[in-house]
């Protein structure tokens, strides 16, 4: 059932056009980041610079280098922990019937929707009280907790697709709660972990409000450094744009390299609600 | 087993929400707001009354309208563009991986970065507006993020009446659905309620209730289109990925069967694929919905904090709390946001869970 | 449901918790530390770093933590600082604008220590203008140390362009309204404007010209009503002036508004004197020849100021180091290190002007001779609540251009903010 050529052409034309439109903001950002500050003018916004001005990247890099390790440590640890907990929660909620599950699940997922600006002050006080203010551990804890709703949601929907017979047959065989998880659910969870991990990694990597409020300078991630590039009374667009590109590279790489797995994870039916 | 998560969420979500609700009922924000131990008085619903009917909170009311408008446009655009992209890519095109990556990567950027990029693209005298000039045409003059034109304007004074009519329509819909399912009592009750509400709103006391002592027009702002564009650019790839996964999961026998029955390609999509994508649409709806509600960084980076045409409640909450030191009022805005989401989300969540259970038996 | 594995999980969580808590002890603040909280970054970073370097020379054993929070148009820094103060964990010292941003937020809440003794020890009262000290004081004390002075009411233009268009820099707004139509006919925007806060910035210059320094002050002391005919006239004049500004103003940063002037798309711009820094350092223009300035129309002889200051919060973890920092900040030497880099002048009347460029020299002259009043937009004359709400009033006016509505709204917020009765 090959399709006719004109139709194919139309499809390609549409795709190429959309892709071009998609790349417009990127083009604009890249050329702006390569301009000298005095050359950034509205009138010439679309034109590439005469000579690339790499200085902005060097400046941005100087500020980012000490923070990259923090971001990496933060994003990786918090992603792994929230994925692990989310997976356990999802397993319980999808495979173990108990009273109140229908209430608990919405209550857990609802956490996704709180506007974080509104809970900043009590959160700060709480972390101070348990002595976790200032460093990465506190920030990791916060990201794990606020990541739980979505990881739980995604894992529950994924596990719901796994036939219950697998679980019940294992139960009859005397498998208990953790053994079923370890030997039946976990081996099947790969795709879900990829989806959840990618989502969480990008969210945590890009988060600013908690990062700037809950840490002291030596524990701050790159988003804070990025904001500082764009701050103050003097905003020269070359710096924030160059910084944006540097700060986005890790997550973009994750997408390019893991995109295949992401798609495969999705294809495995991870997200059927 | 769930308990560690539950304990954490109980503190971090419900503990803090509880505190926010409590604060919203106080007057924290007077002279000594930032004292180490501020004196706080309980004032009941004063803050809420002010937000909805106070002379000076006109900005908050427009913010609510903006949020509604943004959410509708953004969710709608992301779902439809995502579906369109998925269908295009599903045609076994060459270079599929490249296209997928191009459409997906914006999702990996932070909203601040997206905002900074689009701010440039949408500059009235230097962004897309001047593109026509490059091929010798007149440049466009649309003021992307700062346009002050509005449409579908309505008078906030009469909001109770509009709400009454809205509720009546919703109840009538419930009744008609019930009738179609051949139930009796439910639809009858809903029908009566619908009639009563409609009567209240149009002829009864509802037609006299005025929220404000003066007319105050609100409407959908043109300026939000730019924000919708940027947000859709960022998230449509995600819905594309979800739909693509869904399309690939549709058993090919189903499509074949439809084709054998003489269905055109379009009809195959309309009658075979789309219905099967429904659960995915719902998942995407939740994720997009929560982004829309919390949209903050993007608007802040694109249009700044005080650009009323693009402002949303999350921004005025932040400014009210941290710039204006009116902590109680900020808390009430947060609570209003939460109530609005709960009304939309909780029924869906409960329902999704129940139906899943029922299905699994 | 089976609960047998729960013990294992609790153990696992405990391990995680302990390993997370491990590094915490390392975070306990060592005694030899000074945490300086500010929103100076980017181009202002080097000036602050020069100050810190000087401090390190004097006190090599103290570890300075430069806690800069920028971004979000300055609100991010406010959010972090307020969260920390309410959380009972103040930084050792923080940047705050002179005037009500300091007094109305922190001093009324008993969060600052009185520095009168330090002023006496260092003899600052004789080198700082009285008008400035008044802005840092209440009847209970003096609450912070100023490091710099910026001027808000400055009109910027390019002399070569004005010559070409055959106009002169207007001395009053009436002059401006006379020449504006001809500029408009030539396709030139008479007055470049940027986003919302720059409109408020323009407004305060217009108000100052219409009201004069005494009534401007009366407005903030609650002695002049916002609904009085004088203030109503300010809004009316402001509305007339807005007709001659660019339509895309809300999309432009203040730099882009200056760019319009530099590129010859606009004739004038009213902006604070950080604009001089932008034009000299970034655009590499020469003050006095490539670009020129005048007091904003109708405000000759009046210096509308704003000032960055640092204070000593009650309960600062390292009080002694903070005092040493403040002592250094107030010195002539430190101020003459900082200000030429920051593009501002020293509030001290004895600063060494040879270190400053032509624009700053002229500003310093005016500072010593002019009448001094405080800026609204930059935190001097009104408390934060009023400032926050004033942005809304400005939006109401930009939307409706209704002078009466804006006056009424401003009066209402002045009452709520405790400024008017």
Mean pLDDT within C69-96: 88
Residue C12 has pLDDT above 60, yes or no: no
pLDDT tens digits, one per residue of C308-364 = 999 999 999 999 999 999 999 999 999 999 999 999 999 999 999 999 999 999 999
Residues of chain B with pLDDT under 70: 1, 351-361
Burial of A256 (0-12, 13-18, 19+ CB in 10 A): middle
pLDDT tens digits, one per residue of A61-113 = 988 888 999 999 999 999 999 999 999 998 888 877 777 777 788 888 888 88
| Cβ within 8 Å, pair C106-B34 | yes
Question: Which residues on B lie below 8 Å from A164 (Cβ)?
Answer: 360
Contact call for residues C375 and C181 (beta carbons, < 8 A)? no
Segments of B156-309 assigned E as strands: 217-221
* Nearest CA-CA distance, residue A273 and chain B, Å: 5
Distance CA C390, CA C409 (A): 9
Interface mutation target, options A44, A231, A244, chain C, most CBs of C under 10 Å: A231
Distance CA B148, CA C360 (A): 39
Comparing CB atoms, the residue among A29, A103, A123 nearest residue B16 is A123
| Cβ within 8 Å, pair B345-A262 | no
Q: Whole-prediction pTM value?
A: 0.88
| Cβ within 8 Å, pair A232-C40 | yes
Question: Which residues on C lie below 8 Å from A74 (Cβ)?
Answer: none
Sheet containing strand C302-306, edge to edge, reads C150-151, C302-306, C371-374
B8 touching chain C per CB within 8 A:
no
Contact call for residues B254 and B272 (beta carbons, < 8 A)? yes
Mean pLDDT within C374-399: 93
pLDDT tens digits, one per residue of C176-202 = 999 999 999 999 999 999 988 999 999
Burial of C31 (0-12, 13-18, 19+ CB in 10 A): exposed
Q: How many residues does chain A have?
A: 273
Question: Which residues on C lie below 8 Å from A208 (Cβ)?
Answer: 71, 76
Distance CA B350, CA B344 (A): 11
Can you say how many angstroms the Cα of residue C223 is from the centroid of all Cα atoms in its chain? 25
Q: Which residue of C has its CA nearest to B296?
A: C72
pLDDT tens digits, one per residue of B257-284 = 888 888 887 788 888 888 888 878 877 8
Which chains reach chain B with 3 or more Cβ–Cβ distances below 8 angstroms?
A: A, C
Distance CA C382, CA C105 (A): 10
Residue C23 has pLDDT above 80, yes or no: no
Question: Which residues on C lie below 8 Å from B55 (Cβ)?
Answer: 409, 412
| Cβ within 8 Å, pair B56-C412 | yes
Contact call for residues A211 and C69 (beta carbons, < 8 A)? no
B299 touching chain C per CB within 8 A:
no
* Nearest CA-CA distance, residue B127 and chain A, Å: 7
Higher pLDDT, A71 or A232: A71
Tell me the pairing of strands C33-38 and C93-97: parallel
Neighbours of C130 (CB within 10 A): 10
* pLDDT value at residue C328: 97
- Name the residue with tokens 């490539």: C290
Mean pLDDT within C271-293: 92
C388 touching chain B per CB within 8 A:
yes
B10 touching chain A per CB within 8 A:
no
Can you say how many angstroms the Cα of residue B348 is from the centroid of all Cα atoms in its chain? 15
A198 touching chain C per CB within 8 A:
no
CA atoms within 13 A on the CB side of B56: 24
A44 touching chain C per CB within 8 A:
no
C412 touching chain B per CB within 8 A:
yes
* pLDDT value at residue B319: 92
Distance CA A127, CA A146 (A): 14
* pLDDT value at residue C28: 47
Q: What is the DSSP code (8-state) at residue A50?
A: S
Q: What is the DSSP code (8-state) at residue C112?
A: B
State how far the alpha carbon of C63 is from the alpha carbons of A203, C53, C56, C58, C315, in Å. Answer: 33, 11, 8, 12, 19
Burial of B330 (0-12, 13-18, 19+ CB in 10 A): buried
Distance CA A106, CA A90 (A): 12
C83 touching chain A per CB within 8 A:
yes
| Cβ within 8 Å, pair C196-B323 | no
User: Residues 191-230, chain C: which have Cβ within 8 Å of B?
Assistant: 195-197
| Cβ within 8 Å, pair C110-B146 | no
* pLDDT value at residue B11: 86
Kindly compute the dihedral angle of the four CA atoms of residues A116, A119, A121, A122, in this order, to the nearest 10 degrees.
-140
* Nearest CA-CA distance, residue B213 and chain A, Å: 31
Contact call for residues B360 and B347 (beta carbons, < 8 A)? no
Distance CA A102, CA A88 (A): 17
C247 touching chain A per CB within 8 A:
no
Distance CA B53, CA B61 (A): 9
Can you say how many angstroms the Cα of residue C46 is from the centroid of all Cα atoms in its chain? 18
Selection from B227, A115, A219 nearest residue C20 by Cα: A219
Question: Which residues on C lie below 8 Å from A134 (Cβ)?
Answer: 27
pLDDT, chain A, mean = 83
Contact call for residues C419 and C386 (beta carbons, < 8 A)? yes
User: Residues 144-203, chain B: which have Cβ within 8 Å of C?
Assistant: 144-146, 148
Q: Which residue of B has its CA nearest to A162?
A: B360
A208-238 b/e (C-beta count within 10 Å ≥ 16 → b): bbbbbbbbebebbbbbbbbbbbbbbbbbbbb
A184 touching chain C per CB within 8 A:
no
* pLDDT value at residue C10: 45
State how far the alpha carbon of A38 is from the alpha carbons of A41, C342, C344, in Å. Answer: 8, 19, 21
Higher pLDDT, A5 or C66: C66
Question: Which residues on A lie below 8 Å from C2 (Cβ)?
Answer: 176-177
* pLDDT value at residue A272: 45
C17 touching chain B per CB within 8 A:
no
Selection from B290, B285, B310 nearest residue B118 by Cα: B310
C391 touching chain A per CB within 8 A:
no
pLDDT tens digits, one per residue of C199-234 = 999 999 999 999 999 999 999 999 999 999 999 999
B83 touching chain A per CB within 8 A:
no
Q: What tokens were used for A78? A: 């918090």
B112 touching chain A per CB within 8 A:
yes
* pLDDT value at residue A19: 93
Q: Which residues are CB-contacts of A56 (< 8 A; sequence separation ≥ 6)?
A: A33, A34, A238, A239, A241, A242, A243
Residue C87: strand, helix, or coil: coil
Question: Which residues on C lie below 8 Å from A98 (Cβ)?
Answer: 1
Mean pLDDT within A32-57: 85
Tell me the β-bridge partners of C295.
Answer: C154
* pLDDT value at residue C6: 45
B136 touching chain C per CB within 8 A:
no
- Name the residue with tokens 């103003």: C249
Query: What does the DSSP assignment read for B294-342?
Result: H--HHHHHHH-TT-GGG--HHHHHHHHHHTS--HHHHHHHHHHHHHHHH
Counted across chains B and C, CB pairs separated by less than 8 A come out at 128
* pLDDT value at residue B163: 82
Contact call for residues C384 and B323 (beta carbons, < 8 A)? yes
Q: Which residue of A has its CA nearest to B240?
A: A263
Round the CA-based radius of gyration of chain C to a whole number and report it: 24
Tell me the β-bridge partners of A9.
Answer: none
* pLDDT value at residue B354: 65
Q: First CA to last CA across chain A, in angstroms?
A: 32
* Nearest CA-CA distance, residue B27 and chain C, Å: 12
Which alpha helices (H) appear in B105-158, and where do they start and end? 111-121, 131-134
pLDDT tens digits, one per residue of C112-135 = 999 999 999 999 999 999 989 999
């Amino acid at each position: 059932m090959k399709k006719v050529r004109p139709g194919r052409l139309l499809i390609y034309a549409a795709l190429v056009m959309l892709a071009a439109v998609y790349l417009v903001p990127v083009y604009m950002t890249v050329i702006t980041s390569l301009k000298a500050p005095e050359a950034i003018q509205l009138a010439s916004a679309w034109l590439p610079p005469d000579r690339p001005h790499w200085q902005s990247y060097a400046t941005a890099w100087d500020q980012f280098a000490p923070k990259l390790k923090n971001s990496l440590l933060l994003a990786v640890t918090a992603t792994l922990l929230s994925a692990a907990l989310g997976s356990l929660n999802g397993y319980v909620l999808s495979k173990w019937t108990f009273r109140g599950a229908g209430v608990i699940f919405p209550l857990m997922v609802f956490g996704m929707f709180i506007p974080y600006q509104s809970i900043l002050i009590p959160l700060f006080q709480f972390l101070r009280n348990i002595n976790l203010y200032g460093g990465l551990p506190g920030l990791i804890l916060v990201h794990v907790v606020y990541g739980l709703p979505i990881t739980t949601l995604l894992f529950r929907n994924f596990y719901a697709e796994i036939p219950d017979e697998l679980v019940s047959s294992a139960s009859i065989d005397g498998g208990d709660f953790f053994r079923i998880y370890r030997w039946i659910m976990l081996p099947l969870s790969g795709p879900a972990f990829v989806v959840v991990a990618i989502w969480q990694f990008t969210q945590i990597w890009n988060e600013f409000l908690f990062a700037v409020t809950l840490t002291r300078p030596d524990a701050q991630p790159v988003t804070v450094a990025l904001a500082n590039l764009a701050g103050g009374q003097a905003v020269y667009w070359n710096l924030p744009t160059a910084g944006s590109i540097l700060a986005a590279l890790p997550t973009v790489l994750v997408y390019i390299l893991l995109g295949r797995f992401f798609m495969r994870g999705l294809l495995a039916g991870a997200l059927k609600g | 087993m769930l308990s560690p998560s539950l304990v954490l969420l109980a503190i971090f979500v419900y503990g803090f929400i509880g505190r926010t609700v409590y604060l919203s009922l106080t007057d924290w924000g007077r002279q000594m707001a930032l004292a180490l131990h501020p004196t706080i008085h309980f004032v009941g619903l004063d803050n809420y009354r002010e937000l909805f009917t106070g002379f000076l909170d006109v900005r908050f009311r427009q913010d609510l309208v903006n949020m509604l408008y943004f959410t509708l446009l953004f969710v709608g655009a992301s779902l439809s563009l995502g579906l369109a992209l998925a269908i295009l890519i599903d045609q076994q095109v060459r270079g599929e991986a490249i296209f997928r990556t191009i459409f997906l990567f914006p999702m990996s950027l932070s909203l601040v970065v997206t905002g900074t990029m689009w701010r440039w693209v949408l500059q009235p005298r230097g962004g897309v507006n001047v593109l026509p000039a490059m091929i010798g045409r007149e440049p466009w003059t649309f003021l992307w993020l700062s346009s002050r034109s509005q449409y579908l304007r309505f008078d906030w004074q009469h909001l109770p009446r509009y709400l009454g009519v809205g509720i009546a329509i919703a109840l009538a819909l419930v009744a008609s659905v019930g009738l179609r399912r051949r139930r009796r009592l439910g639809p009858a009750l809903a029908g009566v309620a619908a009639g009563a509400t409609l009567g209240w709103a149009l002829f009864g006391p509802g037609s006299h209730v005025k929220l404000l002592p003066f007319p105050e027009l609100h409407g959908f702002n043109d300026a939000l289109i730019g924000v919708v564009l940027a947000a859709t650019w960022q998230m449509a790839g995600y819905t594309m990925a979800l739909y693509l996964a869904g399309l690939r999961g549709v058993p090919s026998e189903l499509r074949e069967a439809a084709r054998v029955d003489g269905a055109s390609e379009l009809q195959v999509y309309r009658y075979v694929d789309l219905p099967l994508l429904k659960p995915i649409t719902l998942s995407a709806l939740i994720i997009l919905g929560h982004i829309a509600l919390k949209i903050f960084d993007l608007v802040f980076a694109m249009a700044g904090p005080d650009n009323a045409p693009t402002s949303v409640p999350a921004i005025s909450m932040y400014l009210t709390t941290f710039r204006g030191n009116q902590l109680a009022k900020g808390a009430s805005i947060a609570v209003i946001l939460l109530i609005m989401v709960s009304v939309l989300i909780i029924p869906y969540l409960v329902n999704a869970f129940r139906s899943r259970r029922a299905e699994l038996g | 449901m089976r609960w047998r594995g729960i013990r294992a999980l609790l153990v696992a969580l405990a391990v995680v918790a302990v390993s997370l808590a491990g590094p915490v002890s390392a975070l306990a603040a060592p005694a030899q530390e000074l945490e300086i909280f500010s929103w100076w970054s980017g181009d202002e970073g080097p000036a602050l770093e020069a100050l810190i370097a000087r401090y390190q020379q004097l006190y090599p054993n103290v570890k300075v933590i430069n806690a800069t929070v920028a971004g979000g148009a300055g609100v991010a820094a406010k959010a972090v600082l307020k969260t920390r103060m309410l959380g009972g964990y103040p930084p050792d010292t923080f940047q705050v604008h002179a005037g009500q941003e300091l007094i109305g937020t922190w001093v009324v809440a008993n969060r600052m220590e009185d520095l009168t003794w330090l002023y006496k020890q260092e003899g600052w009262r004789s080198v700082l203008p009285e008008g400035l000290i008044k802005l840092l004081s209440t009847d209970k004390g003096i609450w912070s140390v100023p490091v710099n002075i910026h001027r808000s009411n400055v009109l910027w233009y390019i002399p070569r362009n004005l010559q070409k268009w055959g106009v002169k820099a207007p001395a009053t707004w009436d002059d401006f309204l006379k020449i504006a139509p001809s500029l408009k006919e030539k396709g030139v925007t008479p007055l470049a404007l940027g986003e919302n806060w720059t409109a408020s910035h323009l407004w305060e210059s217009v108000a100052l010209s219409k009201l004069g320094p005494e009534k401007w002050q009366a407005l903030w002391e609650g002695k002049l009503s916002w609904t009085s005919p004088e203030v109503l006239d300010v809004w009316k004049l402001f509305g007339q002036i807005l007709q001659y500004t660019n339509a895309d103003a809300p999309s432009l940063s203040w730099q882009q508004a200056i760019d319009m002037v530099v590129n010859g798309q606009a004739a004038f711009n009213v902006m604070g004197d950080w604009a001089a820094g932008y034009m000299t350092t970034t655009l590499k223009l020469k003050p006095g020849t490539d670009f020129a300035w005048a007091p904003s129309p109708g405000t000759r002889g009046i210096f509308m100021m704003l000032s960055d200051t640092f204070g000593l919060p009650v309960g600062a973890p390292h009080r002694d180091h903070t005092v040493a920092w403040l002592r250094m900040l107030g010195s002539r030497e430190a101020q003459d290190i900082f200000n030429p880099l920051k593009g501002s002048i020293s509030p001290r009347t004895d600063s060494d002007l040879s270190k400053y460029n032509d624009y700053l020299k002229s500003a310093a002259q005016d500072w010593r001779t002019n009448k001094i009043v405080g800026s609204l937009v930059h935190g001097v004359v009104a408390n934060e609540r009023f400032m926050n709400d004033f942005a809304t009033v400005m939006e109401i006016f930009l939307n409706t251009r209704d002078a009466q509505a804006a006056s009424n709204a401003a009066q209402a917020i002045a009452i709520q903010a405790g400024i008017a009765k």
